[in-house]
């Protein structure tokens, strides 16, 4: 998936597992940028009695590079604490939770937001309440009201939310991980099954989101509001991360765990699917510990992606041109590691320089689309992925098509993509899940009582 | 430490005989008055005893101490 359980170590640590990152000019407030970092993959809505929550022992970060060197120039850090009202009760709630300060809610979370720039730490807000998880019709009878109470204005034109949201990333996990047997094209696959409709593997699962809306000036190098799409200063790099302290000792005394030492990064995410698809199994944990500035060492996986060599094998006769293309993939390097230079897509660039770093690159001078296309730039919509990423962007189809060679002609006119390259999809669309039209944009999580467990097809 | 994951850190410390120990008294033998005055648990990590390098962690602080004698004493105790 985008980055759910994408590496061996972090798959065992869901509380710190950064699953998706979104960055886009807010469609309903275009003087601002919204950045969303998701954690805790595949939350089953009925997963009580200890429902999902952020880790008090984790430092969550949203990072901004505004000078193209792949290191953070601005960081927003989120630190959580948990308060248990009645430790003698085993219950998450002892009655209906009708407000986020309800005494019926036994296990509340609060957090602080700290902005770090040039070594200076500024606490923007503290003790901000999270909403509860959506337990069910009796426990959280008006969930949208609870969630709205957890949207906080924290001064300086900044707005923040941290809590459970409906998964916005849609993907047919079952088909992709079953030897790339994409359901719409199963009849062309070596497995020779009948073609079927795509199945959203994340349907009705939730995640925990940290959503931040800030004025554009909060992010740019010189504190300006960019208006020229072709100016290098209009582009920022965005990624999120999670860190844990160096040591954990289980000493069996009170809380069972004692943490100590400096904070070490254990998860990061910029472009969707980068670590998942382009980094080898033996290097994924290391990738998670490094900053984007170190990504040059993963260049080979981008220039020669394993999946591009597998597609012609899995789908015999469908990708002959891709099979014969032996050059390093400069198109993928541009999309994922440097940004797209000027002169390739008319009226657009999100180039950040020659430092190869996996970041979402957002051109802040591109206004929100009045009629968005979930295929983003591939669909002629300059406001979508890989110009940042909106919550509904169909990044699976875009990246499948890019891997299959659909964007090679942008950098190599001698190549003609196979006909199938522009058709690849996992059979899903943005209607496969639900979104909000306003902050925090990701949809209302499904209630536990209202959700049935997974069933067979 | 910059290239280390926490898991690698913990895993290697658990696997190595020279591993992690909670050693308030031991550190206090050698450390300066400031370190001895620290409150709360202290974790010391020795990645390779021969170097004498000890990572000392308390709260969010993490400092490196170079002391071959202490490192050797802990290594002997661990075997």
Count of CA atoms in the C-beta half-sphere (13 A) of A121: 6
Q: What is the pLDDT of residue B11?
A: 42
Which residues of chain A are modeled with pLDDT < 50? none
Measured over the CA atoms of residue A331, residue A332, residue A336 and residue A337, the dihedral's sign is negative
B3 interfaces chain A, CB cutoff of 8 Å: yes
- Chain B residues in contact with A285 (beta carbon < 8 A): 5, 7-8
Statement: residue B29 has pLDDT above 50: no
Backbone angles phi, psi at A218, to 5 degrees: -70, -15
- Chain A residues in contact with B10 (beta carbon < 8 A): 247-248
Model pTM?
A: 0.92
Q: What are the residues of chain A with a beta carbon less than 8 Å away from any beta carbon of chain B?
A: 9, 13, 244-249, 251, 258, 260-264, 266, 285-286, 288-290
Chain B: give the shortest CA distance to residue A176, in Å: 29
For B59, nearest residue in chain A (alpha carbons): A260
A231 Cβ partners below 8 Å, 6+ apart?
A: A365
For A10, nearest residue in chain B (alpha carbons): B7
Percent of chain B with pLDDT over 70: 52
Q: In 3D, which of A77, A24, A107 has the Cα closest to residue A368?
A: A24
Between B6, B43, B57, which is nearest A244 by CB?
A: B6
B63 interfaces chain A, CB cutoff of 8 Å: no
Chain B: give the shortest CA distance to residue A269, in Å: 16
> Are residues B4 and A260, on separate chains, in Cβ contact within 8 Å?
no
CA distance A183 to A180: 9
pLDDT-based confidence at B38, cuts 50/70/90?
A: low
For A58, nearest residue in chain B (alpha carbons): B6
- Chain A residues in contact with B43 (beta carbon < 8 A): 247, 249, 258, 260-261
Chain A: give the shortest CA distance to residue B6, in Å: 5
Statement: residue B45 has pLDDT above 70: yes
| Chain B interface mutation, best of A57, A77, A252, A264, highest count of B Cβ atoms under 10 Å | A264
> Are residues B7 and A290, on separate chains, in Cβ contact within 8 Å?
no
Chain B: give the shortest CA distance to residue A263, in Å: 8
Between B3, B5, B10, which is nearest A247 by CB?
A: B10
Q: What is the pLDDT of residue B52?
A: 95
Q: What is the pLDDT of residue B1?
A: 36
Measured over the CA atoms of residue A70, residue A75, residue A81 and residue A82, the dihedral's sign is negative
pLDDT tens readout for residues A50-94 = 999 999 999 999 999 999 999 999 999 999 999 999 999 999 999
Q: What is the pLDDT of residue B37?
A: 53
Radius of gyration of chain A (CA): 22
ipTM attached to this prediction: 0.70
pLDDT tens readout for residues A180-201 = 999 989 999 999 999 999 999 9
Q: Check residue A145 and give left, alpha or beta (phi > 0: left; psi -120 to 50: alpha).
A: alpha
> Are residues A246 and B20, on separate chains, in Cβ contact within 8 Å?
no
A431 Cβ partners below 8 Å, 6+ apart?
A: none
- The secondary structure of A208-225, three-state, reads EEEEEEEEHHHCCCCCCC
* Angle at A23 (CA atoms; ends A22, A27), nearest 5 degrees: 110
A415 Cβ partners below 8 Å, 6+ apart?
A: A321, A325, A405, A408, A409
> Are residues A261 and B62, on separate chains, in Cβ contact within 8 Å?
yes
Q: What is the pLDDT of residue B32?
A: 52
Residues 4..43 of B with a Cβ closer than 8 Å to A: which? 4-10, 13, 20, 22, 41-43
CB A404 within 8 A of CB A418: yes
CA distance A22 to B34: 45
> Are residues B8 and A285, on separate chains, in Cβ contact within 8 Å?
yes
Between B1, B8, B57, which is nearest A260 by CB?
A: B57
- Chain B residues in contact with A13 (beta carbon < 8 A): 7
């Amino acid at each position: 998936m985008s980055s759910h359980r994408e590496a061996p170590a972090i798959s065992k640590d869901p509380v710190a597992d950064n699953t998706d990152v979104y960055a886009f000019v807010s469609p309903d407030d275009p003087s601002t940028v919204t950045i969303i970092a998701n954690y805790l993959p595949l939350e089953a809505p009925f997963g009580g009695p200890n429902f999902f929550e952020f880790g008090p022992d984790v430092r969550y970060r949203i990072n901004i590079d505004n000078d193209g060197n792949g290191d953070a120039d601005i960081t927003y850090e989120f630190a959580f604490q948990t308060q248990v009202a009645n430790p003698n009760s085993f219950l998450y709630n002892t009655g209906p939770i009708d407000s986020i300060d309800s005494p019926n809610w036994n296990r509340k979370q609060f957090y602080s937001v700290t902005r770090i720039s040039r070594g200076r730490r500024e606490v923007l807000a503290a003790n901000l309440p999270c909403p509860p998880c959506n337990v069910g019709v009796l426990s959280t009878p008006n969930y949208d009201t609870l969630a709205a109470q957890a949207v906080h204005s924290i001064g300086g034109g900044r707005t923040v939310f941290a809590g459970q949201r409906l998964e916005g990333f849609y993907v047919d996990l079952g088909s992709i991980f079953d030897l790339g047997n994409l359901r719409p094209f199963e009849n062309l696959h070596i497995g020779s099954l009948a073609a079927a409709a795509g199945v959203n593997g994340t349907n009705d699962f939730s995640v925990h989101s940290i959503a931040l809306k800030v004025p554009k000036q909060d992010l740019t190098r010189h504190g300006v509001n960019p208006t020229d799409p072709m100016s290098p200063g209009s582009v920022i790099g965005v990624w999120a991360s999670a860190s844990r302290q160096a040591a954990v000792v289980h000493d069996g005394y009170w809380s069972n765990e004692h943490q100590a030492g400096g904070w070490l990064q254990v998860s990061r995410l910029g472009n969707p699917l980068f670590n998942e698809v382009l980094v080898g199994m033996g290097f994924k944990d290391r990738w998670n510990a490094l900053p984007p500035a170190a990504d040059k060492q993963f260049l080979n996986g981008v220039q020669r992606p394993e999946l591009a060599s597998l597609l012609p094998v899995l789908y015999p006769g469908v990708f002959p041109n891709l099979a014969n293309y032996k050059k390093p993939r400069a198109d993928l390097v541009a999309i994922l590691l440097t940004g797209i230079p000027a002169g390739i897509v008319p009226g657009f660039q999100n180039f950040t320089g020659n430092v190869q770093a996996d970041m979402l690159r957002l051109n802040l001078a591109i206004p929100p689309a009045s009629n968005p296309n979930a295929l983003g730039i591939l669909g002629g919509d300059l406001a979508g992925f890989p110009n940042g990423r909106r919550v509904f962007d169909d990044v699976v189809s875009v990246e499948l098509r890019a891997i299959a060679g659909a964007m090679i002609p942008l950098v190599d006119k001698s190549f003609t993509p196979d006909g199938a390259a522009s058709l690849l999809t996992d059979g899903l669309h943005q209607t496969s899940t639900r979104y909000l039209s306003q902050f925090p944009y990701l949809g209302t999580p499904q209630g536990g009582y209202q959700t049935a467990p997974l069933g067979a097809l | 430490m910059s290239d280390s994951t926490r898991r690698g850190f913990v895993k290697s410390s658990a696997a190595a005989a020279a591993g992690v120990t909670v050693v308030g008294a031991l550190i206090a033998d050698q450390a300066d008055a400031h370190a001895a005055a620290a409150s709360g648990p202290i974790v010391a990590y020795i990645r390779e005893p021969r170097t004498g390098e000890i990572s000392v962690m308390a709260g969010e602080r993490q400092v490196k101490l170079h002391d071959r004698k202490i490192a050797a004493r802990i290594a002997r105790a661990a075997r």
